[in-house]
Structure 1
Amino acid sequence: MVDLFSDNAPQIRVTASAPWFRVMAFRAYVQTPLTSRKKTARKQENSIAMTPIRWLIVLILSIGVFLFSTVVSTHDALAVLYVLCILFIAEAGSARTIVAAGATYSTLAVISFLIKHYGESFNSAYIRLGISLVAIMVATFLSRRAQAGRSRLSEQSLWLALTHDTVIIRDNDDRIIDWNEGATRLYGWSRDEALGKKVQSLLKTSFPATSAPRLAPGALWSGEITRLDRDGRPMILTSTWMGKVGEYGGEGGVIELSADLTQERLAQAGRMESESRYKAIFNGAGVPIFELSTDSHGADAIVLAQNEAADRLVGPKVAYAADLTKILDDEGRRLFRDAIIRALAEGVRQELSCTVMPRESCQRDVAFTVSHGAQYGESHTILVTAVDMTERNQARTRVEQMQTDLAHASRISALGQMTAVVAHEINQPLMATVTFARSGRRWLRRDTPDLDEVGRCLDGIVSTGERAARVVERIRAMSRRQTPEHEKLSLANVITETVEILSSEFQRYGVRAENHVTAPDLYFVGDRVQIHQVLVNVMLNAAQAMSAVSDRPRNLILSAAKDVSRASLTLTVEDSGTGFPPELLEDGVAPFISSKEGGVGLGLSVSRTIMETHEGRLGVKNRPEGGASVELQWPSTEESR
């Protein structure tokens, strides 16, 4: 006999997720006692194993009934004995075999009747024939119906036995009378170990929400229970119980199907913990975070969730109808939608800056980071983080203003150091003007005034006056506090002008300036006044550093080079002075570090700041042969490439 609950039974995957299966299988079990199910399985097995013997017995019985009913003269309906053959076949044969047997025995009964009573008038023999045929047909119908019922019951029993859910059948005394492979896998006890044991003593069943139910035949109960497996580990189960029909229609115990929920509950607890942790991180982050929903075209930016920091920045969702773009200005709205489209198309994080205009507060400068999240069909989620840049931008503005003030103070300091330069530059044009005026007066006092010479003297006065005006204008420009005006500058012209301004200072310190920057195609963009200030600081520092040198020539060498690959211009200012102190080189021209006695150390620091505002750099180093080298680098324009 094939044991449906044995360890060697074939495995069929039937889960408890199909309610129809539970109800159908339960009702099959309830409506048929356990002994009937076992007898049915045993009969099917024996019919398969004894098929040749059964057919031999059926053949002998069939021939015997045919001969007996044909030869023996009696007033009894002997053809009714064919019913025994049909019942014998019904236990082994298929539905088609049963029907064929019924038709065959009906035909044999008619043949036997014709042989014995052919030609007789209507009498009791005809009635006996009718009774025999009716009995054969009824037996055939009932046998066919019983065979179909047994097939369905066997199939349902197999399903129930081989399900991965646990199937436990117990009697009225709570003793286990059936135990399937699913129960063995779940609880750890084999079928042989479990049979005969009481469920409560074996599995320690408890009911968290109710008490143990007592079920009448056919009654159902579903709920959650907890049990212990063989190793004592607790399990959470979803269980369905049905009262079983006993042998005589009374209470026959309980059939139960149970599925393990332990892992599901652990996973659920893990998800809840993860969600709680995510919520704590989401709301605890000091940075505003938004989760948006949009389509593939970025048409809308509907806020699904936002943290408390986002509430403080832009207000709750109801304040802007949950569409984040509604609180941006027109340009910000366009940039934000473009960032969403690029994030969806490229899968790369996008960054942008916008002006946010919440209804309940003043406008804010915000830097957004846009990233593509998950996709659900046509809907996409967008993760957005925001940083309020308002205070930072205000602080930057204040720092830039302070830098402007510092540069202005540095220019005034430089002007104080250039007093002699200013006096010399103004004195020279004035003396020349006096000389030209005296010459013109002498030419006029002649008996015959030479007007041509007088004209040349007047032209000289005009020229020297214009020269003095240019000197004054350059000095005034350096002293004015004005907004930088960037323009295209020629490096050669700027250096020539600076050398002219410092010419008297070079004479004072005995410095010879070697200007090798004469190429007319070296251009860059900058503010003329600020660039003059940088060059004056660098060259004046170099001249003052060489004043203490007596063992070598005091040469100031100016050279320039352009790097086409980097699109940059580099001016190198080299001197033969004492060089930079080590602490200045280590700190990178930090303020308030000076190699000059009484110096405040702001010149190079301010110059470096000015260079950085021009997207350039200022670098310093000492020359191996003595002296210092300062490199000034700017981005070049197209004309110098």
Structure 2
Amino acid sequence: MPAKDDETARPASMAVPGARRGIGFLAGAVAGAAVLFLADVWLPLPGPIAALYLCVVFLVALSGRHALVVPAGVACGALAILAFLLSPATDTSPDAVAQLVLGLLVIAGATGFAFHLGRQQEPMLEQARILELAHDTVIVCDAEDRIAYWSEGAEKLYGWPRQQALGAACDQLLRTEYSSTGASDARAEAGMWAGEITRHRQDGSRIVLASRRLVRRNRLGRRIATIETSSDLTAERNADEKRRISEERYEAIFNASPVSIWESDWSRVLAHFQAHGVTPHSLRATRDQLSIVRNLGSTRIANKATVELFGTGNPTSMEGKTFVSFYMPSTEPALAEIFASFLEGSQMREVETQFRTTAGNIIDVLWRATLLPGETPWARVLITAVDVTDRNKARAELEKASTDLAHAARISTLGQLSASIAHEVSQPLAAIKTYADSAKRWLSGPRPDMGEVALCLDGVISNTTRAAETLARVRSMARNEAPVPESFDLAGLIAESVRLIQREANAHGAYIRELIEPGLPMAFANRVQIQQVTVNLMLNAVQAMDKVEGRAREVVVSCRTDQAQMMAVDVRDNGSGIALDNPNGIFQPFHTTKASGLGMGLAICRSIVEAHGGSIRAENNIGHGATVSFTVPSHVRAADITQRLPPADLTAPDPRRSTPEAVNLADLQSADPFGSRQVRH
């Protein structure tokens, strides 16, 4: 800290002599004039003493107050005459008058000389005032490097007031450092000098200046003054330094990044689009232009990660080239989407696509293109590519495991609903037997009644269809297939689910009531999975009322549409409610309140609903019981949900994505849930 104080104090200490120098010269001149006057009065040497008044005139001139030179000369002459009149030696010296005249001539000559020197600096000072209009700092120094003019810009830049700066040694006051050797002698040379210098402000801060100096000389070739104009380069140099650091940092990150990064020039692509009137809509609708523009871009620079990702030789080998050789059929639609987004004004677009490496491997890539600012549009496009092949494979494996888990849950539900299934199958079988016996009796009579036989056969066909539908529901529940979204009647699905668990509800003494909003649109989701969720929630609601006494055990299932065009299903019971601070905790895996429960049913329900872009929540009723609600998309949101649903397996193609298979109507009408979750209340 003391060192810093010394640095700050140095300029102040330098400024004191410079600021006080003019006052010191004036004070010396006044004191000298008084001494000379007394000496001239009392000493018998009036002439020589009067000649010494020229020193007083020069002291006034050295103070920098050139306007006081002539008044000082007149005052000195008046003092010499007054001393001549008062001195006793005047009467005794025969040469007194001649000596007085000689002294007055000396004073007049000194005054004229000093005044002439001052007049020579006036044009330079006027030039300095004109230069000050250019907002640069202007300083004028005399032959001894003392500041004779200090502009307002200099006051603002350096922090020194004009009164303190005038008369001070310029380089000493500002601690000037020259960028080249010999530059400090520029004022002693003829002509002009320009260069960079470093100075210090009054507060000790260091600044860099671009300085220009002009040496002015008199008729004899002697330097009489130097005009200096300077502009502050500190902010510019600081900005240059920050830019340099930023560029070095960017280069280090660019080269060391494990993410593939390259910079491309797409200016020719934009020029082609503008010349041919290509629009974002036409780019997305057709691929005609892509076959042309995909070869118009070029790579400026690529990092090492790009080389490793695509298997090229080295980063420099990719400069000036395109990535067309690495394209896959899915790459062009992704490229078209990026181009279309840029034409619409976006600065960044991210898509997922595929590339083929030089080794022939197909990789899944998260591809992001960002427009960088520049004079030429699309001339600098920063592209990053993240290899997500392993991530997609892991996601596919996770989805397969989830599908297997859901399949296991459906098989478990078959066991829970075995009594209901047996009842659903036994009833049509018994009816088939009855109709068959009746038909046999009508045929065995003496006069067979073929009309009655036809009615019996119709009954056999109807009950056979009913039994087939029941078996189809069981078969759909037992199949282990990837979920595929489709349009279906959600109200009809709820009705089927109610019939499926009706026997289970009767066993628990519960009644299920349906409240269906009229005019519902078709839902768009995987029918089997949504029926799994519906049946699971209904079974939980029925089982939650086992201990209810004194009031009806009723489950209300309602279906409606919300403001977001989503289908909302509410399952409400009047049991004992959910004994958790946060009722939504029942959707956590392995949360169960039953000794025989695994705690996975509702967790599976949540994953199914969220995979379809919906939501599921639970809350306690104000009176008794709880309500579990979930939403699924309607057909008006089908496009959005198709994007949300991840593919079932990214490691192998799914023929259902490109060529839809024929769907068995009985399977669609009898799809059953994956199983139920016994965890609530």
TM-score by length of 1: 0.60
> How far did residue 623 of structure 1 move?
3.2
Alpha-carbon spacing, 1:523–1:262, altered in 2? closer, same or farther (3 Å): closer
> How far did residue 444 of structure 1 move?
5.7
**8 Å contact kept, 2:298–2:319:** no
SS in 2 for 1:499: helix
> How far did residue 290 of structure 1 move?
5.1
Match of 1:620 among 618, 621, 625: 618
Alpha-carbon spacing, 1:284–1:450, altered in 2? closer, same or farther (3 Å): same
Q: Which residue of 2 aligns with 1:610?
A: 608
Q: Which residue of 2 aligns with 1:210?
A: 181
C-alpha separation in 1, matches of 2:198 and 2:184: 15
Alpha-carbon spacing, 1:410–1:232, altered in 2? closer, same or farther (3 Å): closer
Q: Which residue of 1 aligns with 2:410?
A: 411
Letter in 1 for 2:561: K
Q: Which residue of 1 aligns with 2:572?
A: 574
Can you list the C-alpha shifts for 1:101-158, whole angstroms capped at 9, x where unaligned? xxxxxxxxxxxxxxxxxxxxxxxxxxxxxxxxxxxxxxxxxxxxxxxxxxxx999996
> How far did residue 180 of structure 1 move?
5.2
Q: Which residue of 2 aligns with 1:482?
A: 481
> How far did residue 411 of structure 1 move?
0.2
**8 Å contact kept, 2:299–2:322:** yes
Letter in 2 for 1:390: T
Match of 2:584 among 583, 586, 590: 586
How many pairs align? 483
> How far did residue 242 of structure 1 move?
9.0
C-alpha separation in 2, matches of 1:494 and 1:225: 86
> How far did residue 401 of structure 1 move?
1.5
C-alpha separation in 2, matches of 1:617 and 1:230: 68
Can you list the C-alpha shifts for 1:480-531, whole angstroms capped at 9, x where unaligned? 1123343332234323333333333333333333345495765223333333
Unaligned runs of 5+ in 2: 1-65, 67-120, 274-292, 638-681
Q: Which residue of 1 aligns with 2:597?
A: 599
Q: Which residue of 2 aligns with 1:630?
A: 628
Letter in 2 for 1:624: I
**8 Å contact kept, 2:142–2:148:** no
**8 Å contact kept, 1:351–1:369:** yes
Alpha-carbon spacing, 1:219–1:366, altered in 2? closer, same or farther (3 Å): same
Q: Which residue of 1 aligns with 2:511?
A: 512
Letter in 2 for 1:272: R
Q: Which residue of 2 aligns with 1:272?
A: 244
C-alpha separation in 2, matches of 1:203 and 1:574: 86
Alpha-carbon spacing, 1:258–1:629, altered in 2? closer, same or farther (3 Å): closer
Q: Which residue of 2 aligns with 1:346?
A: 345
**8 Å contact kept, 1:569–1:634:** yes
Q: Which residue of 2 aligns with 1:133?
A: none
Q: Which residue of 1 aligns with 2:555?
A: 556
SS in 2 for 1:355: strand
SS in 1 for 2:555: strand
Q: 1:240-251 counterparts in 2 under 5 A? A: none
Alpha-carbon spacing, 1:287–1:446, altered in 2? closer, same or farther (3 Å): same
> How far did residue 393 of structure 1 move?
2.8
TM-score by length of 2: 0.57
**8 Å contact kept, 1:545–1:578:** yes
Letter in 2 for 1:469: A
Alpha-carbon spacing, 1:259–1:310, altered in 2? closer, same or farther (3 Å): farther
Q: Which residue of 1 aligns with 2:400?
A: 401
Unaligned runs of 5+ in 1: 1-41, 43-152
Letter in 1 for 2:613: E
Alpha-carbon spacing, 1:210–1:535, altered in 2? closer, same or farther (3 Å): same
Can you list the C-alpha shifts for 1:181-213, whole angstroms capped at 9, x where unaligned? 469767759799777x88876666655553578
C-alpha separation in 1, matches of 2:379 and 2:309: 24
C-alpha separation in 2, matches of 1:443 and 1:334: 69
Letter in 1 for 2:373: A
**8 Å contact kept, 1:537–1:603:** yes
| Cα RMSD for the two superposed structures | 4.8
Letter in 2 for 1:569: M
Q: 1:18-97 counterparts in 2 under 5 A? A: none
Letter in 1 for 2:596: G
> How far did residue 244 of structure 1 move?
8.8
Q: 1:109-508 counterparts in 2 under 5 A? A: 163=131, 164=136, 175-176=144-145, 181=150, 209-210=180-181, 226=198, 236=208, 259=230, 263=234, 264-279=236-251, 291-295=263-267, 296-297=270-271, 301-304=297-300, 313=309, 316=315, 318-319=317-318, 321=320, 323=322, 327-329=326-328, 332-333=331-332, 335-336=334-335, 338-340=337-339, 342-343=341-342, 345-346=344-345, 349-359=348-358, 362-376=361-375, 381-384=380-383, 386-440=385-439, 453=452, 456-508=455-507
SS in 2 for 1:429: helix
Letter in 2 for 1:620: A
**8 Å contact kept, 2:570–2:627:** yes
C-alpha separation in 2, matches of 1:225 and 1:529: 82
C-alpha separation in 1, matches of 2:358 and 2:541: 58
Alpha-carbon spacing, 1:324–1:429, altered in 2? closer, same or farther (3 Å): same
Can you list the C-alpha shifts for 1:320-366, whole angstroms capped at 9, x where unaligned? 63546775546544544553454465355444333344546844433
> How far did residue 543 of structure 1 move?
2.8
> How far did residue 408 of structure 1 move?
0.5
Can you list the C-alpha shifts for 1:367-425, whole angstroms capped at 9, x where unaligned? 44445442415665445555544333333222222221111011011011122222222
C-alpha separation in 2, matches of 1:591 and 1:217: 90
**8 Å contact kept, 1:572–1:630:** yes
Letter in 2 for 1:210: T
C-alpha separation in 2, matches of 1:374 and 1:200: 44
**8 Å contact kept, 1:219–1:242:** yes
C-alpha separation in 2, matches of 1:572 and 1:472: 28
> How far did residue 622 of structure 1 move?
3.3
> How far did residue 477 of structure 1 move?
1.1
Letter in 2 for 1:478: M
Residue 518 of structure 2 corresponds to residue 546 of structure 1: no
Letter in 2 for 1:534: V
Between 329-338 and 567-576, the greater mean CA deviation after superposition: 329-338
**8 Å contact kept, 1:443–1:453:** yes
Alpha-carbon spacing, 1:307–1:424, altered in 2? closer, same or farther (3 Å): same
SS in 2 for 1:619: strand
C-alpha separation in 1, matches of 2:595 and 2:467: 33
SS in 2 for 1:497: helix
Alpha-carbon spacing, 1:387–1:451, altered in 2? closer, same or farther (3 Å): same
